Amino acid sequence: MSNNTIYDALIVGAGVSGGFIANALTEAGMKCALLEAGRSFPSGQYPDNELDANALLYWGGGIELNKNASLGLLRPKGVGGGSIVNQALVDRFDDDAFDSWREASGVSYFNRAEMDPWYDAAAEQISIKTVPEEYANGNGKIFREGFEKNGYQYAPLERAHRDCRFEDGNCCIECLRGCPIDSKQSTAVTLIPKARAAGLDLVPEFEAIHVDPRKDLVTVIGRGGDGRESVYRGRRLVLAAGAIGNSRLLLMSGLEKQLPALGHNFYTHPQFMCLGLYDEPVNGHHGPLQSYRSADPTFRANGFKLENVFASPVAVAMLVPALGREHMQRMRAITHMGCVEVAVRDTNPGRITVSSSGKPIVDKTLNEEDRRRRDRGLEAIHNIFESTGATEIIKGNLAIGLHLMGGCNIGTDPTRSVATPDFHLHGFDNIHVADSSAFPNAPGINPSFTIMALSCRAADKIVQGAD
Amino acid sequence: MSTLSATQQRGLLRLGDALIPGDGDMPSFSESGCAEYADRILVSMYSDDRAGLKGVLTLCAILPRPLIRKLFAMTDRHENAPEPVAGLLRMANVGIKGFLMTLYYSDIGGGHVFSKMGWDPVVHRQPQEPTDGAR
């Protein structure tokens, strides 16, 4: 479907940033189209099995690998994007994260005093609650007990959900394929429906493949689900397709010369999931998937955090070593497994390029410092499992990248950054970006809430500029 | 499995059974019926990844079964190899294992894999009626 409408704004990517910005611009009276490569799922009707979820909710059939296959990248797609499949954690950045961003970018507003109002503005749009400790499952209890026995600090978890009805026995691990009761505050159930009611045009199954930026008009060419090309035009473009999606689109559009830092400065918070085997059932798949977060200043100072998570059988099968019957025997013990992962605040930036067929190529490895951070985290996990009676510990050896950040980083220097502090690309006043691709480096904290805050701030700037 | 040729389908079942042979209670890969759903993953893969996987499946249709298992075990020991060989082994390992484990451990083929593992997460779509005791 091509459209003769000249929109006030085209937004590519209907995830967290796209949803927040689309709603803010539409509410300000701008005519917007939200273009999304993935599908739009009716309320509560997400895939009911992992195979379809991997195929429909992620790029590349579930996982994309970096160049040397040492890092698996999970890149969501579909209306709602990462907010469909994530655990909806809402953490504000601390001074350390913002100090590091300010230093890397030269952007003065990266501090709590100036960002807190934008966190508040984002929080007003969604329901945020603490996961009730009384429903913590066996895996949550292992995490808590292990932290207490080792003198590590932890805290209850805040997440964006409305009412998960844990008293009914609901299990949030099912919501990694999309929340069937619309409790999780994905933009697919919060801001995008609101924006649509106010006049937003939502265009799912439109994969943007080329941008033609002109001073007064931006053209976006894309492919539909049937492979046919169509075109959308707008006075401005907001890129909200994430680190790889935004970088890929701009690279495929030939903007590398004008934007020399494009695709650089890519970070992922590499995560290593570990399993502990217990004699008694753990049932880490019951109830809330996560109940606690690590809040240990020593962990923070050492560049890692631990996550109280569990995983689906497919992911556990990838972690469990051995082959054949031995592998199956181990899989039978899945209900007796505890799980903790270490997320590294990575210091070694990667680079995103694009193959001739349009496939993103990610060159990203861990340097010595990143490996040191990983190993300290693994040591802490070992201590947790050992002190809580695990009979065997399985260390995951494949790093997973869930927090895909950078590639279009914000900064004051056009030779070292892609976007200005005012959220438009250097040299392109009518192309904006405020999602995780704009991050100057890895904060070591869950990025979702800060994407929301930056998007609120960017939307305000765009509306001011449009007046 | 229309995306796969008859040879590739045979290779998928042989490779699947090498990694997931069944254990007397849980079904083997081929017994689970999951191979029927291979298309659903294949269509969402990048074309060059799909071509690589199809090549592996074609090879598995003709290789002796013990050799299939040995070759896969070799990819599992990627840590012992120097780069860039290790990277290629990792890529093969994650690609093959990811494809097969996704098919089998999604439990959509009627093999009742989850019930045999005790995997029973639920989400009640409607609030449950309070029990008599709670009224």
Q: What is the ipTM of this complex?
A: 0.94
| Residue of A46, A282, A323, A329 to mutate, interface with B, max B Cβ within 10 Å | A323
The Cα–Cα gap between A43 and A146 comes to 38
Q: How many CB atoms lie within 10 A of CB A277?
A: 18
Residue A312 confidence (pLDDT) = 95
Q: CB under 8 Å to A202, separation ≥6 — which residues? A: A14, A33, A34, A36, A40, A79, A192, A196
> Looking at residues A372-396, what average pLDDT do you find?
97
The answer to whether the CB of A391 falls within 8 A of the CB of A256 is no
Pairing of strands A428-433, A237-239: parallel
Whether residues A411 and A398 share a domain: the answer is no
Q: Which two tokens stand for residue B22?
A: 């069944």
Q: Domain count of chain A?
A: 2
CATH code of the domain containing A111? 3.50.50.60
Flag whether residue A325 sits within 8 Å of chain B, measured between CB atoms.
yes
Whether residues A315 and A378 share a domain: the answer is yes
Residues of A in contact with B113 (CB under 8 A): 313
Residue B1 confidence (pLDDT) = 53
Residue A198 belongs to a domain: yes
Residue A10 belongs to a domain: yes
Q: How many CB atoms lie within 10 A of CB B73?
A: 15
pLDDT digits (tens, 9 = 90+) for A201-243: 999 999 999 999 998 999 999 999 888 999 999 999 999 999 9
Q: Nearest CA to A187 among A243, A129, A126?
A: A126
Residue B135 confidence (pLDDT) = 33
Whether residues A225 and A117 share a domain: the answer is yes
pLDDT digits (tens, 9 = 90+) for A290-302: 999 999 999 999 9
| Domain range enclosing A11 | 1-41+91-127+187-266+407-467
Read off the pLDDT band of B128 (50, 70, 90): low
Whether residues A145 and A198 share a domain: the answer is no
Whether residues A196 and A150 share a domain: the answer is no
Please state the three-class secondary structure of chain B as a single string: CCCCCHHHHHHHHHHHHHHCCCCCCCCCHHHHCHHHHHHHHHCCCCHHHHHHHHHHHHHHHHCCHHHHHHHHHHHHCHHHCCCCHHHHHHHHHHHHHHHHHHHHHCCCCCCCHHHHHCCCCCCCCCCCCCCHHHC
Flag whether residue A65 sits within 8 Å of chain B, measured between CB atoms.
yes
CA distance A464 to chain B (A): 40
Per-domain boundaries in chain B: 6-111
Whether residues A432 and A378 share a domain: the answer is no
Residue A78 belongs to a domain: no
Q: Nearest CA to B102 among B34, B45, B53, B43?
A: B34
Residues of B in contact with A63 (CB under 8 A): 94, 98
Residue A79 belongs to a domain: no
Read off the pLDDT band of A397 (50, 70, 90): confident
Whether residues A426 and A464 share a domain: the answer is yes
The answer to whether the CB of A436 falls within 8 A of the CB of A122 is no
Contact A52 B94 (CB under 8 A): no
Residue A51 belongs to a domain: no
Whether residues A428 and A384 share a domain: the answer is no
> Looking at residues A315-341, what average pLDDT do you find?
95
